[in-house]
Structure 1
Amino acid sequence: MSEHKYLVTCPKGLELLLENELLELGGTSVKQTVAGVFCHGEIELGYRICLWSRLANRVLLILNEWDASSADELYQGVKSVNWMEHMAADGTLAVDFNGRAEDIRHSHFGALKVKDAIVDQLRDLTGKRPSVDAQAPDLRVSASLFKHRATVSIDLSGDSLHRRGYRQESGAAPLKENLAAAILMRSGWSELGQKGSRLIDPMCGSGTLLVEAALMALDIAPGLARWRYGFNNWKQHQAALWQQLRKEATERKEAGLLRGCAEIRGYDEDPRVINVAEANIARAGLEKWVRVSVREVGQLVKPSHVSDDLPGLLVCNPPYGERLSDVPVLVHLYRSLGDRLIDQFKGWYAGVFTGNPDLCKQMRLRSTKQYKFFNGAIPCELVLFDISEPYIFTSPSKAKVETSAAAVEDLSEGAAMFANRVRKNLKAMSKWVERNKIDAYRLYDADMPEYAVAVDVYRDWLHVQEYAPPKSVDAKKAQRRLEEVITALPVVTGVAPERIVLKQRQRQSGTNQYQRLGQQGELLEVIESGCKLLVNLHDYLDTGLFLDHRPTRTQLQSISKGKRFLNLFCYTATATVHAAKGGARSTTSVDMSKTYLEWGRKNMALNGFGERFHHFIQDDCFNWLKQCKDQFDVIFMDPPSFSNSKRMLDVLDVQRDHVRLIREAVRLLSDDGVLLFSNNLRTFKMDYESLANLQIKDVTKASLDPDFARNEKIHQCFEIRKAH
């Protein structure tokens, strides 16, 4: 029996586990490489790896290794192998190639050179030539070329070994079977399962972790259900030896099933994926040992008949937030998981596999170990926990998220720093908020450059806007800081994570700031100076209420009694509500957006105002101003910095066009009337010279409440009157 050299490939991060597995299977001269392990052994070793490896992807039997720097040298080295010993001349083959050389710049060309070398040799010797079959070839050949070193091998596995055959359906983001096996091994299941411990996966999805756990506990070879391998039609295949190894694996399986294992349970909140899991478990023949049912994480309990003397394992692969908007909800999910572990599973062990390990800090458990893995291209960690008193952080109040200094200390350094600043702001503004009965205000506005977000309070909700980081800031670092923000806010404010809405704000042009983001249509009522106002926290970048204009709205309310009020670029007409609440004789609100005018009508109706004296007009404000012949005593105008809406006759640039806008508005102003003109262009400069015939007073400083006092450039505001 001759000895062969093998390269056994695996997902990146599994190399050490695979090395140990190959040693147990009888491999010698075992040596790790990136995403694989080299070893030596007879053909029986190759068969055993195909049948028993829980971690491998492919088993490559190396035929030749040589120096090569070009396509021609690659061709010659492949052709030097005696392919007559490995396949029939008129058989089928497939070639996989990785690597590059000066004249090999893509894998397809490299694979073509390897194929040509094999075909040319066999045709020269026999007059026949093999054909290509990418799906089910008689022989699958693997070749590589890295750093002027070429290798050609036979792929004994055929299809990747992670495909066991039981999983024909899957959920949204399934784990590959060999990665699931690695998670279980690192979590200690190899030993716990043999001792009769129980296993629970509270977010089981399509059931991959459950099935792999049962295969391990029952000593079932993962390759036993597969009938097609890469060596089936290989000329040197030793069928009798293979059948002997299958017979041995079958006997071990029967003994394992007779011995049995403790019940393995899985739960998921989605009935559809539970149906998928049940089908996969049935195909694996494990219905007797693996049970699944619909249950949410918050309902998770330890089975009543489980002995406290034998620790079990809870292992799961929870979502970890590929979208920024998922993070606030996931904070709640991880916190809930931690609460259930502490309440129900003391004495057990837990393994949480995640691409966002910072979320595990929400679980109030100190981890015992962390292992780095890759789920495809995503770097992940397996975080292990011993659910016992020494590893449990002080439990916060269940009635409300704890906001004490001790709770903040449980956060990461960055999250704690952010939390302390928010807590300082809360304390500084608390008396002002309470005294003025303010429902909605800005709590934090990029106070620290590292945490460039705006945090607004809307009653018992938080609206978080991330200012898009400059390109010079590392994207992963920006993501981590945002996660620290979302982690800290529930702790320091007491607002539940599911009531935190996260958005990303970029530099706006035109009507971008008004673009719709979602379709929830959920409106929240807040109160400001006795006015009820509707905000939408989810569907738009802005909420329908510009918090920085609160003092201006309050001023309009105080000066509008008995007056004719005009609101240009009215948005959701919150200023109109204030004017009407202040006793305005009539109001007119003008905007191009039908959506926002309808929103404004709702705001007015909510406060008891009909449309007999309160009018809404959908029009371009430039166009409407030119045509209007009415007069008004109080005018409020807050145009966007820039707009190129298709509904406008011209492009609006507030710096360029403010003189024309103001003149047209003043034309409608009564002799003793006042125009409040505001905009949020940070570089705006009033053209006093062109408007020299008007009385203009900059009231920006007086138009800022304490929550915006530290950001004086949030807007500019002017009182404008006719000169007398």
Structure 2
Amino acid sequence: MSKPVFFVTCPKGVEYLLADELATFGLATVRNAPAGVWVEGPLEAGYRACLWSRLANRVILHLDEVDATSGDQLYDGVVHMDWQQHIPVHGSFRVTFLGQNEAIRNTQFGAQRVKDGIVDRFRAGGGPRPSVAAKDPDIVVSARLNRGRLALGIDLSGHSLHMRGYRTDKGIAPLKENLAAALLMRAGWPEIAANGGDFIDPMCGSGTLVIEAAMMALDLAPGRKQERFGFEQWPGHQPELWLSLRQEAERRAHEAKQRRIPRFAGFDQDSRVVATAWKNIQRAGLEGIVHVEARPVADLKLDGEWSDHGLVLTNPPYGERLSERKELGGLYQTLGEAVKRATPGWRLGVFTGAPEFGRSIGLRSFKQYRLFNGKLPAQLLLFEIDETSSMTPRQPAAPGEVAPRIANEERAAMLRNRLKKNLKTIGQWARKQGIGCYRLYDADMPEFALAIDVYEGRIHVQEYAAPKSVDERAARERLAEALAVIPEVLGIDPDEMVCKQRQRQTGTSQYEKQGVSGEFFNVHEHGGVLKVNLKDYLDTGLFLDHRPVRHWIQQHAAHKRFLNLFCYTGAATVHAVVGGASRSLSLDMSKTYVAWAQDNLALNGAEPSKHRVEQADCLAWLADRKTADQRFDLIFMDPPTFSNSARMAGVLDIQKDHPDMVRQAMARLSSDGLLIFSNNFRRFRLEEDLENEFEVTEVTRDTLDKDFQRNARIHRCWHIRHKV
């Protein structure tokens, strides 16, 4: 009888480490795959992987592989499999689907076809069939499509194994638990701990690294505290075997406590994340073993008795934005000075997305491992903290500190000429229209991937993150040239120019501060006054591309009740007020932007009793029956493309959620009112049923002024009315 085959998934870059770990459980490698390993071995070894793997995400018992060049072919392969062996008749199941091809372009469609095949297989027998459950199913069926073949299996883990159960509270940018374990293994922590070494994380955040280090040294199974695994309702489950493995894990945990327990400490300058770390430590059952406290890196010192060797491992800030990166050189240098003073003879590991700052530590790295933190490329740099490894710290030219310099006069002349041309066309148009805030340049030339915006004499420059094909040094050189050319052509003081790096934002990141300058100033647009800040946030407080939309609202708002959903800083409401709106309600979930919107309305003389701004989750507000009787004559809804903010009750996906959002908004619209619906998702498609239910007109072309006509995909916009 052939051995069972498993596909075990993991973070990208961890595949070879995972293969070595699985071998210790009795699983032989069949082949490696991107972000996973195919292995074979007895069911007991699969159980061990679920309970003991520190690196895996999921353990999938492979069942079969079928042809799937079309949806019908996929269905035919699924429906002929014997699913009664793997899904209880009176139980429930869910299908997870990954991959796509020309015929199956949507994972939801692929999952539906697999589900249909399974259900029809049960129906063919004439008996009852299992139910489909989106949440907490008894069985999770894994379907993975690759090159026209669909691999089908049972997810024995049932959930991602990186979730150990101790981290319900997170820091600002937490490492996943299995990635933290991979860093510890690469840094040699198991050997260091076995030889009597101790562990410190001087920038511990919510404590993931120090907790994982303790669990590893104390031989605690990562899945020891999990209440439920995916195989427990599987018909092939062997309860006695599983019970024996759980008992073995408890015995090993007890025996490990009889040996020397290393010292574990985590420090962080932010007392709030230290409080979070304490909660995580308690949930992990490591009170009295792991110690954390609020302490800056510069004050690192060892109190009490510590080993003369050990591991310092940390995950400092990456400085993903230009405004942050200029601070990193000093932080890394401080880290180097602190560990050389406090932990000589130890090993240092630094996991960073900005490896160039490793030179600021003042130690020579003896090993570098390329990994990924989510989708972000990163490196683990390893150093021995001793005199032979010491070097003079070198400060790299961080992008935020790029000195204006022209290295290639011919290339700089291209940008200079383009800016002059745009000043003659766009700049002259803006002056004639009385527009003081506009986009002058938007990556017109591939050599200079920048957006340059004018804010009444001040300049806001956004550097788009360069693709991997562009050398980082070349990108910095071009930025240096742009910083030299822009003030020259525009005739401004360089201090009036702010430069940032633009990257995709999700969740609450769009609301987070980039700096603390507090430099707000007022600008003017079509008779309205608006407060902006070029330095402290990713965005400035004013979306320039929506200028025509705001102007249209102003021209049509007289005597109307106005609703602004996802209101940001309330600029559209300001224009409604200036245009004579009788009442308005503006909603946003960010306290920062609610306060900003209130300030903007006050600047324009709006009465707070008539023009209210409230903090609210717009999805929840739209779905709330208590608000359903409110009516508005004009509604503006410009949601983000995606948001998984902790402030929200759910997750917002504009493509999936927009039909319900539009219908709920229309339910609050007066019979002769208008909904202006806009978003900036480049691949967005409006649901066809909405066009059958309502009078829908796309007005995108009319909502793009001259400064954004080169970037016609910056947003899309519709006017939606009730049918007469």
TM-score using structure 1 length: 0.59
Q: Tell whether 2:290 aligns with 1:315.
A: no
Conservation of the 8 A alpha-carbon contact between 2:263 and 2:306: no
Deviations 1:628-656 (CA, angstroms, capped at 9, x unpaired): xxxxxxxxxxxxxxxxxxxxxxxxxxxxx
Task: Name the stretch that deviates more: 199-208 or 117-126.
Answer: 117-126
Deviations 1:259-282 (CA, angstroms, capped at 9, x unpaired): 241110000001110000000001
Shift of 1:353: 0.3
Counterparts of 1:524-535 in structure 2 under 5 Å?
none
Shift of 1:131: 1.9
Shift of 1:360: 1.0
Letter of the aligned partner of 1:285 in structure 2? G
Q: Secondary structure at the match of 1:59?
A: strand
Counterparts of 1:109-258 in structure 2 under 5 Å?
109-258=109-258
Q: Paired residue for 2:447?
A: 472
Conservation of the 8 A alpha-carbon contact between 1:451 and 1:485: no
**How many angstroms apart in 2 are the aligned matches of 1:269 and 1:67?**
55
**How many angstroms apart in 2 are the aligned matches of 1:115 and 1:123?**
12
Q: Select which of 361, 367, 370 maps to 2:365.
A: 367
Q: Paired residue for 1:447?
A: 406
Q: Paired residue for 2:268?
A: 268
Shift of 1:133: 1.2
Counterparts of 1:593-672 in structure 2 under 5 Å?
none
Conservation of the 8 A alpha-carbon contact between 1:119 and 1:130: yes
**How many angstroms apart in 2 are the aligned matches of 1:360 and 1:136?**
44
**How many angstroms apart in 2 are the aligned matches of 1:243 and 1:63?**
24
Counterparts in 2 of 1:322 and 1:29: CA distance versus 1, 3 Å:
closer
Q: Secondary structure at the match of 1:180?
A: helix
Letter of the aligned partner of 2:354 in structure 1? N
Task: Name the stretch that deviates more: 126-135 or 327-336.
Answer: 126-135
**How many angstroms apart in 1 are the aligned matches of 2:6 and 2:146?**
17
**How many angstroms apart in 1 are the aligned matches of 2:45 and 2:315?**
33
Conservation of the 8 A alpha-carbon contact between 2:19 and 2:29: no
Task: Name the stretch that deviates more: 115-124 or 472-481.
Answer: 472-481
Counterparts in 2 of 1:504 and 1:178: CA distance versus 1, 3 Å:
farther
Counterparts in 2 of 1:355 and 1:519: CA distance versus 1, 3 Å:
closer
**How many angstroms apart in 2 are the aligned matches of 1:346 and 1:481?**
38
Shift of 1:484: 9.1
Shift of 1:343: 2.3
Deviations 1:600-646 (CA, angstroms, capped at 9, x unpaired): xxxxxxxxxxxxxxxxxxxxxxxxxxxxxxxxxxxxxxxxxxxxxxx
Counterparts in 2 of 1:295 and 1:482: CA distance versus 1, 3 Å:
farther
Shift of 1:125: 1.1
Letter of the aligned partner of 1:78 in structure 2? V
Q: Secondary structure at the match of 1:258?
A: coil
Shift of 1:192: 0.8
Shift of 1:124: 1.8
Letter of the aligned partner of 1:363 in structure 2? I
**How many angstroms apart in 1 are the aligned matches of 2:537 and 2:139?**
57
**How many angstroms apart in 2 are the aligned matches of 1:152 and 1:371?**
33
Q: Secondary structure at the match of 2:326?
A: helix
Letter of the aligned partner of 2:323 in structure 1? S
Shift of 1:307: 3.9
Deviations 1:344-399 (CA, angstroms, capped at 9, x unpaired): 222110100011101111111110100011111101100000111121114xxxxx
**How many angstroms apart in 2 are the aligned matches of 1:160 and 1:47?**
15
Q: Secondary structure at the match of 1:209?
A: helix
Counterparts in 2 of 1:169 and 1:469: CA distance versus 1, 3 Å:
farther
Deviations 1:44-68 (CA, angstroms, capped at 9, x unpaired): 1110000000000000101002333
Shift of 1:333: 0.6
Q: Tell whether 2:287 aligns with 1:328.
A: no
**How many angstroms apart in 2 are the aligned matches of 1:221 and 1:299?**
34
Q: Paired residue for 1:45?
A: 45
Conservation of the 8 A alpha-carbon contact between 1:89 and 1:126: no
Letter of the aligned partner of 2:185 in structure 1? M
**How many angstroms apart in 1 are the aligned matches of 2:271 and 2:282?**
17
Q: Paired residue for 1:344?
A: 342
Counterparts in 2 of 1:481 and 1:169: CA distance versus 1, 3 Å:
farther
Counterparts in 2 of 1:363 and 1:444: CA distance versus 1, 3 Å:
closer
TM-score using structure 2 length: 0.59
Q: Secondary structure at the match of 1:259?
A: coil
Conservation of the 8 A alpha-carbon contact between 1:206 and 1:280: yes
Shift of 1:194: 1.7
Conservation of the 8 A alpha-carbon contact between 2:404 and 2:484: no
Q: Secondary structure at the match of 2:327?
A: helix
Deviations 1:110-164 (CA, angstroms, capped at 9, x unpaired): 0000000001111221432322212211110011221122210000000100000
- Of structures 1 and 2, the larger Rg is shown by 1
Q: Secondary structure at the match of 1:78?
A: helix
Q: Paired residue for 2:387?
A: 389
Conservation of the 8 A alpha-carbon contact between 2:56 and 2:161: yes
Task: Name the stretch that deviates more: 469-478 or 37-46.
Answer: 469-478
Q: Secondary structure at the match of 2:5?
A: strand
Conservation of the 8 A alpha-carbon contact between 1:9 and 1:56: yes
Shift of 1:342: 2.1
Letter of the aligned partner of 2:317 in structure 1? P
Q: Paired residue for 2:294?
A: 294
Counterparts in 2 of 1:515 and 1:139: CA distance versus 1, 3 Å:
farther
Deviations 1:533-558 (CA, angstroms, capped at 9, x unpaired): xxx996899xxxxxxxxxxxxxxxxx
**How many angstroms apart in 1 are the aligned matches of 2:207 and 2:537?**
38
**How many angstroms apart in 1 are the aligned matches of 2:154 and 2:229?**
12
Shift of 1:449: 3.8
Task: Name the stretch that deviates more: 11-20 or 508-517.
Answer: 508-517
**How many angstroms apart in 2 are the aligned matches of 1:450 and 1:469?**
18
In structure 2, the gaps of 5 or more residues are 413-441, 450-464, 499-514, 521-532, 539-724
Letter of the aligned partner of 2:90 in structure 1? D
Deviations 1:201-245 (CA, angstroms, capped at 9, x unpaired): 000000000110001000111011102111011111101100000
Count of aligned residue pairs for this structure pair: 461
**How many angstroms apart in 1 are the aligned matches of 2:337 and 2:164?**
35
Deviations 1:509-555 (CA, angstroms, capped at 9, x unpaired): 899999997763589xxxxxxxxxxxx996899xxxxxxxxxxxxxx
Q: Paired residue for 2:88?
A: 88
Q: Secondary structure at the match of 2:258?
A: helix
Conservation of the 8 A alpha-carbon contact between 2:66 and 2:78: no
**How many angstroms apart in 2 are the aligned matches of 1:314 and 1:336?**
14
**How many angstroms apart in 2 are the aligned matches of 1:258 and 1:296?**
34
**How many angstroms apart in 2 are the aligned matches of 1:377 and 1:46?**
28
In structure 1, the gaps of 5 or more residues are 395-406, 423-442, 454-466, 489-501, 524-535, 542-724
Conservation of the 8 A alpha-carbon contact between 2:99 and 2:144: yes
Conservation of the 8 A alpha-carbon contact between 2:93 and 2:138: yes
Shift of 1:480: 5.0
**How many angstroms apart in 2 are the aligned matches of 1:203 and 1:125?**
59
Task: Name the stretch that deviates more: 385-394 or 108-117.
Answer: 385-394
**How many angstroms apart in 1 are the aligned matches of 2:134 and 2:487?**
47
Conservation of the 8 A alpha-carbon contact between 2:92 and 2:132: yes
Conservation of the 8 A alpha-carbon contact between 1:521 and 1:539: yes
Q: Paired residue for 2:668?
A: none
Conservation of the 8 A alpha-carbon contact between 1:514 and 1:540: no
Conservation of the 8 A alpha-carbon contact between 2:88 and 2:233: no
Counterparts in 2 of 1:521 and 1:246: CA distance versus 1, 3 Å:
closer
Q: Paired residue for 2:102?
A: 102
Q: Paired residue for 1:602?
A: none
**How many angstroms apart in 2 are the aligned matches of 1:226 and 1:317?**
27
Counterparts in 2 of 1:129 and 1:510: CA distance versus 1, 3 Å:
farther
Conservation of the 8 A alpha-carbon contact between 1:446 and 1:452: no
Conservation of the 8 A alpha-carbon contact between 1:61 and 1:153: yes
